[in-house]
Amino acid sequence: MQTLHLYTFVLLIAILYEFVAADIIPATETPAPALPAQSRPHRIVAVGDLHGDYENTMNVFKMAGLVDENESWAGGDYTTFVQTVFVWGSGRGDVLDRGNDTIKLYAMLERLIGEAEEAGGKVIALLGNHELMNLAGDWRYVLPSEKATFGSFDDRVDAFKPTGFIGRFLFERDLVAMVNTTVFCHGGIQPIFAAHGINWLNEMTHAELLEYHSSHGTHGDPLGLFGGKGPTWYRGYVLSPEEEVCPLLMEALKWMDATRMVVGHTMQHNGRILSRCDGRLIGIDVGITAVFGRHRAALEIVGDVVKEIYEGTTVEIKSEGREWRRIRSMREEL
């Protein structure tokens, strides 16, 4: 019994000490974990057709904050840059687009892809119709002076082979990209293609491109991906009446679970970015090259805010949520 009383006394003394010590001995505070710095909102920048003009390409990239004065990546870790097409010094059919900076543009874009990745950003380069033409050996619009920059005709042929310094790069490019809810391609994706999904479009591109190249475009495209109605050549969304193509566009976007489609390919001669179908279709080929007026423009998407960027000003593209009635079947466009 005495042992029990002694134990109780010691326990009470210990408890009393804890209360007293709490007032006498300052507690050691554990600092709250530092909150992460608020990251900048994700920024998407898209630029249209370069058409073999390195100087004006750099001017646009600087204007859009993609590169600094040293032409190094300046987009940080919050920017995704999408280049809808490269044109390696070739023309654009009926509009003679001429440029000699194929090699410089290739080297610059490949370098920016690496610099952006190292910084935590991203550069996405997509195939356009003239990349496909060059890979198939179709040089009908290539200037003799551009060919000379490679050294010889054979040197240029070698450069576009799968093992060539340009071919290696192009064979790795996709046909279509989707960043957040925006789909990017060169010409336009019709519902018949969109129904298969973006992954399928890119997988089929890589599966067929080698044969398309080796056969000079005579084989390797059984589905028409590389043809006139495919995603690199189609112009209907830009040129046809809205009441005809906007329902098609909305159907394609629905298949891909996308909000809008951004395309190049069909140049806007006024140097201004084109918005159609209530902002669901945006055309960004404004004629960057000197041949077409050195127009400087880029598209910026931050969250739900879409802006046209020009020298010293921006213009917001707004959508009112308009709907279009379906007036033709999905296959009638093909």
The separation between the first and the last C-alpha atoms of the chain, rounded to the nearest angstrom, is 101
Length of the chain: 334
If you write DSSP's letter for every residue of 15-56 in order, what string do you get? HHHHHHHHHHSPP-PPPPPPPPPPPPPPEEEEE---TT-HHH
Contact 88/51 with Cβ under 8 angstroms? no
Range of the domain at 173: 43-316
What average pLDDT does this structure show over 234-260?
97
- Each residue of 145-185: pLDDT tens digit? 888 999 999 999 999 999 999 999 999 999 999 999 999 99
- Each residue of 104-121: pLDDT tens digit? 888 999 999 999 999 999
The predicted pLDDT at position 5 comes to 46
- Tell me whether residue 327 is in a domain: no
- Tell me whether residue 261 is in a domain: yes
Between 31-45, 126-140, 286-300, the lowest mean confidence (pLDDT) is in 31-45
The average confidence (pLDDT) of the chain is 84
The predicted pLDDT at position 53 comes to 83
- Tell me whether residue 119 is in a domain: yes
Q: Between residues 40 and 222, which one has the greater pLDDT?
A: 222
pLDDT band of 90, cuts 50, 70, 90: very low
Q: Between residues 97 and 236, which one has the greater pLDDT?
A: 236
- Each residue of 188-241: pLDDT tens digit? 999 999 999 999 999 999 999 999 999 999 999 999 999 999 999 999 999 999
The predicted pLDDT at position 141 comes to 79
The predicted pLDDT at position 33 comes to 44
> Does the pLDDT at position 28 exceed 50?
no
- Tell me whether residue 34 is in a domain: no
What is the spatial order of strands in the sheet that 182-184 belongs to? Answer: 177-179, 182-184, 260-263, 281-283, 274-276
- Tell me whether residue 74 is in a domain: yes
Radius of gyration of the chain (CA): 28
- Each residue of 230-242: pLDDT tens digit? 999 999 999 999 9
- Distance separating alpha carbons of residues 224 and 99, to the nearest angstrom: 29
The predicted pLDDT at position 328 comes to 52
Q: Between residues 3 and 143, which one has the greater pLDDT?
A: 143
* Nearest of 62, 76, 152, 154 to residue 115 by alpha carbon: 76
- Distance separating alpha carbons of residues 120 and 114, to the nearest angstrom: 10
The predicted pLDDT at position 123 comes to 96
> Does the pLDDT at position 27 exceed 60?
no
Number of folded domains that form the chain: 1
The predicted pLDDT at position 86 comes to 57
Contact 96/52 with Cβ under 8 angstroms? no
The predicted pLDDT at position 326 comes to 64
- Tell me whether residue 23 is in a domain: no
Phi, psi of 309 (to 5 degrees): -105, 125
pLDDT band of 78, cuts 50, 70, 90: very high
The predicted pLDDT at position 325 comes to 73
Say whether 81 sits in a helix, a strand or coil.
Answer: strand
> Does the pLDDT at position 135 exceed 90?
yes
Distances (CA, A) of 284 to 14, 67, 186, 214, 330: 78, 19, 10, 32, 26
- Tell me whether residue 79 is in a domain: yes
Q: Between residues 165 and 53, which one has the greater pLDDT?
A: 165
CATH number at residue 194: 3.60.21.10
> Does the pLDDT at position 248 exceed 60?
yes
